[in-house]
């Protein structure tokens, strides 16, 4: 008999609030019935761009045969331009912007939304793009651990002026199930590995093409080769905060990113727009297959 896993919100101060305003989502417990709106959510899928999340939720309505009465599903957060949110059955799709600061704000509000909605057994998956290290463009990476720029599986945050270190392991069971789904689809190469999460797209990821660069090409290559030897398969800017916050709130977390280029060969993306669009659909296909498989098991 399976047990239900509830959302844990490690903040005792929330109990003192008469109403909880999720400002960045334009939602609040005083104005919205969260259990009625979101109580059936089992999967939260997030990606950087609002348009990508809109495309994903349309894909999931077809994948799960959910009728939207011939209409586009509404943006639940339309009253703000910070994030976009769509819902189809048990699937909630939310945009997160770029970088850890942006996704962290969204995750705080979404985790509280799930808590107030009394959701159980939730899986949260970030889908995105990344720079590969030693991988062919188009490879899909399922993250085992999010590591920092020193290749350590930890996130350092400054709280009240002091460093707080948080673990960045992703859920092993979910990662294994996603890898199995990759084998079942057999449409593109799917690998399991560590993902380096950086604070910056340019110097933070050892690029030579930013406005500022304080190192040589040899320095760059030595660093990327060291990352590769440490088991890093790709790099992006959100995985560490996803892992840390999911761990703290009792949510099964996963990160699935497609590589748009091999950073051992180039810094700038050179593939055509058509190819890039096909690459960007790959994480959605993998996650969509995973979600449908999970739902079909429970029928």
From CA 60, how far away is CA 58, in angstroms rounded? 5
From CA 244, how far away is CA 104, in angstroms rounded? 10
- Contact of 111 with 81, CB cutoff 8 Å: no
- The label of the residue with tokens 């909605």 reads 117
Q: Where are the alpha helices (DSSP H) in the chain?
A: 34-38, 50-63, 99-116, 172-185, 217-229, 239-249, 273-297
Segment 263-289, tens digit of pLDDT: 999 999 999 999 999 999 999 999 999
- Contact of 241 with 103, CB cutoff 8 Å: yes
From CA 264, how far away is CA 106, in angstroms rounded? 32
- The label of the residue with tokens 């085992």 reads 144
Strand partners, 108: none
Core vs surface per residue 100-129: b (16+ CB within 10 A) or e: bebbbbbbbbbbbbbbbbebebbbbbbbbb
Segment 74-100, tens digit of pLDDT: 999 999 999 999 999 999 999 999 999
- The label of the residue with tokens 């398969």 reads 233
Looking at residue 2, what is its pLDDT?
56
Instruction: Please tell me whether residue 219 adopts helix, strand or coil conformation.
Output: helix
- Contact of 242 with 253, CB cutoff 8 Å: yes
User: Residue 69: which pLDDT band, with cuts at 50, 70 and 90?
Assistant: low
Work out the average pLDDT over 161-190: 97
> Is residue 1 predicted with pLDDT exceeding 50?
no
Looking at residue 72, what is its pLDDT?
78
Segment 205-254, tens digit of pLDDT: 999 999 999 999 999 999 999 999 999 999 999 999 999 999 999 999 99
Q: Furthest-apart CA pair in the chain: how many Å?
A: 58
pTM score of the predicted model: 0.95
CA nearest neighbour of 140 among 288, 258, 238: 258
Work out the average pLDDT over 102-128: 98
From CA 28, how far away is CA 31, in angstroms rounded? 5
- Return mean pLDDT, the chain: 95
Share of the chain above pLDDT 70, in %: 98
What contacts 24+ positions apart, CB below 8 Å, involve 272-276?
Answer: 275/138
Residue 109 has which token pair?
């509000």
> Is residue 257 predicted with pLDDT exceeding 90?
yes
Work out the average pLDDT over 254-259: 98
Looking at residue 10, what is its pLDDT?
94
Looking at residue 68, what is its pLDDT?
60
Q: Where are the alpha helices (DSSP H) in 71-203?
A: 99-116, 172-185
Looking at residue 3, what is its pLDDT?
76
Domains of the chain are: 12-297 (3.40.50.1580)
Strand partners, 259: 130
């Amino acid at each position: 008999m399976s047990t239900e896993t509830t959302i844990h919100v490690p903040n005792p101060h929330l109990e003192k609030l008469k109403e909880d305003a999720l400002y960045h989502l334009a939602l609040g417990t005083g104005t919205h019935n969260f259990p009625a709106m979101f109580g059936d959510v089992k999967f939260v899928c997030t990606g950087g761009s609002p348009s990508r999340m809109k495309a994903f939720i349309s894909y999931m309505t077809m994948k799960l045969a959910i009728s939207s009465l011939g209409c586009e599903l509404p943006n639940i957060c339309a009253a703000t331009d910070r994030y976009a949110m769509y819902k189809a059955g048990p699937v909630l799709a939310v945009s997160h912007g770029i970088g850890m600061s942006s996704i962290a704000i969204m995750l705080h509000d979404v985790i509280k939304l799930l808590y107030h909605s009394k959701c159980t057994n939730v899986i949260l998956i970030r889908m995105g793009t990344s720079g590969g290290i030693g991988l062919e463009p188009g490879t899909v990476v399922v993250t085992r651990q999010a590591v920092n720029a020193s290749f350590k599986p930890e996130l350092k945050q400054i709280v009240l002026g002091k460093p707080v270190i948080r673990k960045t392991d992703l859920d092993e069971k979910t990662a294994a199930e996603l890898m199995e789904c990759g084998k079942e689809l057999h449409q593109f190469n799917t690998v399991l590995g560590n993902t380096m999460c950086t604070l910056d797209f340019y110097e933070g990821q050892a690029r030579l093409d930013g406005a500022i660069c304080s190192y040589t090409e040899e320095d760059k290559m030595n660093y990327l080769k060291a990352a590769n030897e440490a088991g890093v398969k790709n790099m992006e800017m959100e995985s560490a905060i996803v892992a840390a916050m999911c761990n703290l709130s009792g949510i099964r977390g996963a990160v699935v990113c497609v590589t748009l280029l091999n950073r051992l060969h180039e810094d700038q993306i050179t593939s055509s727009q058509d190819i890039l669009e096909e690459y960007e659909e790959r994480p959605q296909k993998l996650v969509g297959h995973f979600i449908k498989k999970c739902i079909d098991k429970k029928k």
